Structure 1
């Protein structure tokens, strides 16, 4: 059953990532990968909420599999982040490549911590 929940979450998360990435990137006239950055930060926030919810026994293992592993796993993308960072380096826009790495790490961790804080406020 868990495998089916992960597959269902991923079936929603992957197209959602693609569509969100394209929508965000279309609004920016920049080589910076805003779409990937955005979905990774959103996924980190959602995962923070889910992890804290699971720790508080408010999120079941099934929901964690569906939304955490499936949806967030497919929504976020480390491989695209890595590819886009290398592409920025190859295109000789090193400042954007460094910014992408630093901002992605800081914003991703910050979003996860914010997700935990939101979950703590929701489920005291």
Structure 2
């Protein structure tokens, strides 16, 4: 039971920091690039995918357990709180409902394609650095 509570504490800490980082990045990009397209959410999801790829590569290279404290804090907590598929979905729906179906499709396809590319790049970089 103690192990579960310690894991929960790591996830909670990481989630709090990841959520704050998501808010900061998304807000700053929204102010700089405007709010007509969800650039902040796209940037958060792509950078989060790159980070999870890099961390996974380092974890594999160094034999870190995927249930250990570092994984719980960084992957489950921080990156789980940082990335935001729920926001992607809601913002894409809002774009479509307001007649911007092309932008909605671009947001969905761009987020997924760029996210996949970013996780692959992150994994490759993590492998090279490890």
Identify the TM-score tier after normalising by the shorter chain: over 0.9
Shift of 1:51: 1.2
Distance 1:16 1:10, change over 3 A: same
Partner of 1:104: 111
Distance in 2 (alpha carbons) for counterparts of 1:29 and 1:3: 37
Q: How many residues align?
A: 123
> Which ranges in structure 1 are unaligned for 5 or more consecutive residues?
none
Runs of 4 or more above 3 Å deviation = none
> Which ranges in structure 2 are unaligned for 5 or more consecutive residues?
1-5
Partner of 2:46, secondary structure, is helix
Normalised by the length of structure 1, the TM-score is 0.94
Superposed counterparts of 1:1-124, under 5 Å: 1-57=6-62, 59=64, 61-123=68-130
- Aligned-residue Cα RMSD (Å) equals 1.2
Normalised by the length of structure 2, the TM-score is 0.90
| Paired residues of 1:50 and 1:59 also in contact (CA < 8 A) | no
